[in-house]
């Protein structure tokens, strides 16, 4: 009915079937047939046709503004779709852990926004379990999950609990994230207690798995809180190396040698299927995977963990 509505408005605008047919590139019989179909659809006569031209009936006059509004709304919808498909608009909902949200994703998202300034990001800091639940619920487009770790001498383990398998989602390796022990300079790491994260955090789960007998003095909710207390000399902590690169370089923290580290976890980009991703989310996924390909296949810590 869209073409018929357009043709109807052309007749109303130009006043005659002949002129309207010329403007819409139809023969007069074809235009007449189109109007018959439209009148049958609405069950009412829409045009009076006489020697002086064609004018709308009362029913036709009622249809005119609504036909214009309908066609304008469809055109607006077309523009909105074109903007989204062309990455001139849209929204990406991402769930990731604290390390990814704080240290790994910001430069990538900033570069993406420089290219696609009108794309909106909703970045949610979550545990891997929460991110996986968000994917299944349709609340997230992409999730950065910790799944699979390698300890020294090739010891491998899963991260997600049995209740949170990867069935029903697609996932690709994005990068590896080595976990190391650190403390403040001068701290006796051999006798110092441990500062760690709250239960539910991926790093806490790995800490309990690889350091089951460790004395815990603090359970904190953020990387900043853990680093602040460790820098103050409270104890040692198992943290992502990506979170302490600057602290190590500035001498605020030192690495603690330990046969159980580094613990190298895999960070994976997960989603419910490429075909179900909004265009902006699909584009961000491609950027993340391209960033992985630019990185060395195995870092120094990866090699240490598997040696």
Provide the pLDDT confidence category of residue 100 given band limits of 50, 70 and 90.
very high
Mean pLDDT of all residues in 250-265: 94
Lowest mean pLDDT among 31-45, 71-85, 189-203: 71-85
Q: What is the CATH number of the domain that holds 25?
A: 1.10.10.10
- 170 and 296 in a single domain? The answer is yes
What digits encode the pLDDT tens for the residues 101-133?
999 999 999 999 898 888 889 999 998 888 988
Main-chain dihedrals φ then ψ at residue 271, nearest 5 degrees: -160, 175
- Which residues span the domain enclosing 61? 2-85
Main-chain dihedrals φ then ψ at residue 180, nearest 5 degrees: -130, 160
Last residue of a domain, one of 64, 85, 106: 85
pLDDT of amino acid 161: 56
- Strand, helix or coil for residue 152: helix
CB 91, CB 119: distance < 8 Å: yes
Better pLDDT: 304 or 5: 5
Mean pLDDT of all residues in 85-108: 88
Mean pLDDT of all residues in 120-149: 88
Provide the pLDDT confidence category of residue 306 given band limits of 50, 70 and 90.
very low
Report percent pLDDT > 90 for the chain: 62
- 76 and 140 in a single domain? The answer is no
Provide the pLDDT confidence category of residue 154 given band limits of 50, 70 and 90.
low
Report percent pLDDT > 70 for the chain: 89
* Residues 6 or more apart whose Cβ sits within 8 Å of residue 242: 99, 103, 104, 177
Q: Is the peptide bond prior to 66 cis by the omega test (within 30 degrees of 0)? A: no
Q: What is the pTM of this model?
A: 0.67
- 76 and 106 in a single domain? The answer is no
- 80 and 115 in a single domain? The answer is no
pLDDT of amino acid 55: 94
- 77 and 99 in a single domain? The answer is no
Mean pLDDT of all residues in 245-268: 94
pLDDT of amino acid 58: 96
- 81 and 202 in a single domain? The answer is no
Last residue of a domain, one of 85, 117, 143: 85
Whether pLDDT at 191 is above 70: yes
Provide the pLDDT confidence category of residue 301 given band limits of 50, 70 and 90.
very low
pLDDT of amino acid 127: 87
pLDDT of amino acid 302: 45
Between CA 161 and CA 54 the distance in angstroms is 73
The tokens for 303 are 């090699």
Q: How far is CA 259 from CA 97, 180, 211, in A?
A: 26, 11, 11
pLDDT of amino acid 298: 46
- 78 and 165 in a single domain? The answer is no
Provide the pLDDT confidence category of residue 275 given band limits of 50, 70 and 90.
confident
* Residues 6 or more apart whose Cβ sits within 8 Å of residue 65: none
Last residue of a domain, one of 63, 85, 107: 85
Q: How many domains does one find in the chain?
A: 2
Lowest mean pLDDT among 6-10, 103-107, 244-248, 297-301: 297-301
- 107 and 155 in a single domain? The answer is yes
What digits encode the pLDDT tens for the residues 202-219?
899 899 989 999 999 999
- 176 and 278 in a single domain? The answer is yes
- 80 and 133 in a single domain? The answer is no
- 213 and 252 in a single domain? The answer is yes
DSSP state of 164: S
Mean pLDDT of all residues in 240-254: 96
pLDDT of amino acid 79: 67
Mean pLDDT of the chain, nearest integer: 87
Better pLDDT: 89 or 156: 89
Name the residue among 271, 285, 282 with its Cα closest to residue 132: 271
Q: What is the CATH number of the domain that holds 110?
A: 3.40.190.290
- 292 and 144 in a single domain? The answer is yes
Whether pLDDT at 307 is above 50: no
Q: What pairs with residue 195 in β-bridges?
A: 218
């Amino acid at each position: 009915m869209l073409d018929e509505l357009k043709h109807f408005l052309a007749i109303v605008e130009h006043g005659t079937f002949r002129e309207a047919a010329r403007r819409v590139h139809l023969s007069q019989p074809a235009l007449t047939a189109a109007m018959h179909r439209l009148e049958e659809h609405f069950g009412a006569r829409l045009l009076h046709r006489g020697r002086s031209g064609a004018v709308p009936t009362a029913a036709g006059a009622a249809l005119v503004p609504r036909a214009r509004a309908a066609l304008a709304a469809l055109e607006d919808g077309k523009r909105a779709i074109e903007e989204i498909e062309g990455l001139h608009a849209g929204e990406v909902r991402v769930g990731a852990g604290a390390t990814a949200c704080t240290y790994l994703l910001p430069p990538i998202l900033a570069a993406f926004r420089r290219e696609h300034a009108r794309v909106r990001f909703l970045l949610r800091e979550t545990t891997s379990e929460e991110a996986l639940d968000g994917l299944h619920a349709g609340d997230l487009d992409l999730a950065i999950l910790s799944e699979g770790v390698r300890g020294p001498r090739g010891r491998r383990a899963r991260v997600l609990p049995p209740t949170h398998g990867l069935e029903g989602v697609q996932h690709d390796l994005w990068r590896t994230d080595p976990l190391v022990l650190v403390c403040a300079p001068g701290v006796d790491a051999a006798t110092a207690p441990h500062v760690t994260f709250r239960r539910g955090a991926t790093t806490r789960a790995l800490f309990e798995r690889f350091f089951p007998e460790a004395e815990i003095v603090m359970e904190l909710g953020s990387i900043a809180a853990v680093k602040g207390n460790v820098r103050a000399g409270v104890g040692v902590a198992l943290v992502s190396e990506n979170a302490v690169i600057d602290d190590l370089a500035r001498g605020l923290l030192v690495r603690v040698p330990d046969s159980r580290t580094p613990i190298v976890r895999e960070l994976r980009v997960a989603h419910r299927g490429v075909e179900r991703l909004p265009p902006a989310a699909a584009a961000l996924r491609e950027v993340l995977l391209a960033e992985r390909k630019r990185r060395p296949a195995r870092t120094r810590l990866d090699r240490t963990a598997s040696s």
